[in-house]
Amino acid sequence: MSANQVWKNCLKFIRENVPADVYDAWFKPIKPVSLEGQVLTIEVPSNLYYEWLETHFLDLLRAALVKNIGPQARLKYLVRMTNKPQSDHTHLAYPGRTTPQVDTRNYRSHTRKEIKSPFVVPGVEKIRIDSQLNPNYTFDNFIEGPNNRLAVSAGKSIAKFLGNTSFNPLFIYGGVGLGKTHLANAIGLEVKRLHPDKNVLYVSTEKFTQQYTSAVVNNTRDDFIHFYQMIDVLIVDDVQFLAGKTGVQKVFFQIFNHLHQNKKQLIFTSDKAPVDMRDVEIRLLSRFKWGLAAELKSPDFATRQKIIRSKLLHDGVEMPEEVIDYIARHVRSNIREIEGVLTSMIAQSAFNHKPLNLELAREVIGNFVQQRKPVYTCDMIQKIVAEYFNLRVEDLQSKSRRREIVQARQISMYLSKKFTDSSLDQIGSRIGKRNHATVIYALKTVKNLMDVDKRFRQVVQELENTLTGM
């Protein structure tokens, strides 16, 4: 039988088992490529398809294959980039459009396993521990920006000079969805790559707590401690959940001390800085401050753009630049939200055959993101500044060197830099066709004046209040 014939039979089976719209969206676009022995290769339009199929329809696919090929049937995916019709004008550069072969077996082995035997007492030989790291959270797909640079470079140093940095513990903190878990995992994976003989363990504070509780119940508290004392790099996620749990804090403290004294690396994440943590023993808090506390902040506009491009590349989806910009401008608070918007857009476009355009972005973001802040523009800022000084916007745009106009223009530039994501060139060209050197000079002048002139500082402050109060 040919691949075509086999796939046709599979489709028949699938169609009987899923709703028509699901069938149309997810199975119709698949093309059979080849049948070698019992291995059927199919081509899917993007990585997202493949991941979606694997997560939602794996059993169905397996049943269809076994039915039509035999019990040893296997499925291989070929991912091909699509050219979406609306993206004719703007193409992302896909480095060497590869068509990766994805083997379902390999993929499945990536799913997390439980620690098989958490309380093994170490024997003569060093035992290997399943590190519980998520293989998808690597440095490769972690976009660096001013918001995370310190934490990233500290993490990379730790992996490179394991046991010889002063970043111990590394305490990564920041709000939800800003990459704490991803970064902590990436450090763990990098350690394993560079030092394969080291025991790395990732554990969430919740899981740690559960393990501890059952160790107490089962009278295996010592085994529990021994197990953790064997680790070379211990990553504990979300330590804010230690708050109020005295028993767990005690054992945590004991493990911490042992590992730290033996120059083992500790990495913690938390949604708060150590100073802001409540209901945690002082002696433990002071340990958290021994090494480096690095904050993850919200990404700026350029970093958000990069993150979006990277996710699209990963999903094998193309999107016009203006849509990427739109998302980057409107989804500001965290990266999980950006991912949510992209996934939702891609799914909508697949299900409802909508193009990935601005209209869809607006629709999805409207449902997704609470829009609190207005989006500031240079024009808006000039208008407010002109009004404040009883000038006209045209005055700011003019070539006039009158002192009050020059100052209003400079303040407009300063506020545009602070409130918009425009580049210096963009600010210059919007505010009176100036070049970017002029903008730099303006920013400096305003800052200097604010330092020395109280009245001037008040003026700028009032203008800022007007803007933030909008």
Q: Give least dist CB 335 to ligand ADP, A.
A: 4
| Cis status, amide bond into 32, omega within 30 of 0 | no
Let me know if 77 is exposed, middle or buried by CB neighbors in 10 A (0-12, 13-18, 19+): buried
Q: What is the closest distance, in whole angstroms, from the C-beta atom of residue 141 to ligand ADP in the complex?
A: 6
Which residues of the shown chain bind ligand ADP in the complex (CB under 6 A)? 137, 141-143, 148, 176-182, 307, 335-336, 339
- The answer to whether 406 and 388 have CB atoms below 8 angstroms apart is no
Is 86 or 333 the residue whose CB approaches ligand ADP more closely?
333
Tell me the closest approach of the beta carbon of residue 178 to Mg ion, in angstroms.
9
Angle at which helix 454-468 crosses helix 378-388, to 10 degrees, equals 130
Residue with the shortest CB distance to ligand ADP = 179
Task: Report the nearest approach of ligand ADP to the CB of residue 311 (Å).
Answer: 7
C-alpha 343/C-alpha 317 separation (Å) is: 11
CB nearer ligand ADP, residue 185 or residue 416: 185
Cβ–Cβ contacts within 10 Å for residue 390, how many?
Answer: 9
Q: Which does 434 bind (CB under 5 to 8 A by kind): Mg ion, ligand ADP, none?
A: none
User: In this complex, which beta carbon is closest to ligand ADP, that of residue 63 or of residue 347?
Assistant: 347
Residue 119 touches which of Mg ion, ligand ADP, none (CB < 5 to 8 A by kind)? none
Taking the complex as a whole, the smallest distance from the CB of residue 145 to ligand ADP amounts, in Å, to: 7
Cβ closest to ligand ADP, residue 35 vs residue 152: 152
Among candidate residues 359, 317, 378, the one with its CA nearest the CA of residue 342: 317
Nearer to ligand ADP, 340 or 355 (CB): 340
Strands 170-173 and 265-270: parallel
> In whole angstroms, how close is the CB of 296 to ligand ADP at the nearest point?
6
Nearer to Mg ion, 1 or 176 (CB): 176
CA distances from 332 to 303, 317, 336 (A): 11, 22, 10
Q: Which residues, in sequence order, are bridge partners of residue 201?
A: 234
d(CA 255, CA 253): 5
Distance CA 48, CA 27 (A): 13
